[in-house]
A = this chain, B = another copy of it.
Amino acid sequence: MKFKLDSRLENDSFYVCDLALSQLRLINDEQFIWLVLVPRVKGVQEIIDLSQEQQVQLWQESACLSRALREGFGPDKLNVAALGNIVAQLHMHHICRFKNDVAWPAPVWGRQAMIAYSEVAKEKLIEQFKYLLSEQGAL
């Protein structure tokens, strides 16, 4: 069975790169450095729906992405979460949180309208993520 990205996730985010298991995407909201890892496995909603090997891979990718984000952006806190109440397809949020961001200390979801990136800002960030991930040995 072929992996297909949920249409809402697709509309709300930009493709960054493919890791061994997951597609990495940037949520289109310039108020946050907010990425999602989407395992390229069809029909999976919970982490525990993945095979043992896939779970290990997902956590390695999550740790690698977390290190890259901390290195590149120095957040006050990382938020790492698999919720999926609205988009059930398994996706794991990784968000750099700062004490002066618009939602702090509340979670980011559904609190404020999203503000789209400019094309230039989006492309620049995507290149930065790729650089940071390559520095972590992920790309």
Interface of A is mostly: mixed
CA distance A24 to B66 in the complex (A): 24
| A4: B residues at CB distance < 8 A | none
Shortest CB distance A85–B (Å): 4
| A79: B residues at CB distance < 8 A | 81-85
Q: A48-B70, A67-B48 are in contact. Are A84 and B88 (CB under 8 A)?
A: no
A80 lies within 8 A of B78 (CB): no
Shortest CB distance A35–B (Å): 15
Q: Is A104 an interface residue (CB 8 A)?
A: yes
Tell me how many chains of this kind the complex includes: 2
CA distance A82 to B79 in the complex (A): 6
- Which of B46, B48, B81 lies in contact with A81, CB distance below 8 A? B81
Shortest CB distance A21–B (Å): 14
Query: Which chain A residues numbered 33 to 80 have a C-beta less than 8 Å away from chain B?
Result: 45-48, 55-56, 59, 62-63, 66-67, 70, 77-80
CA distance A106 to B110 in the complex (A): 7
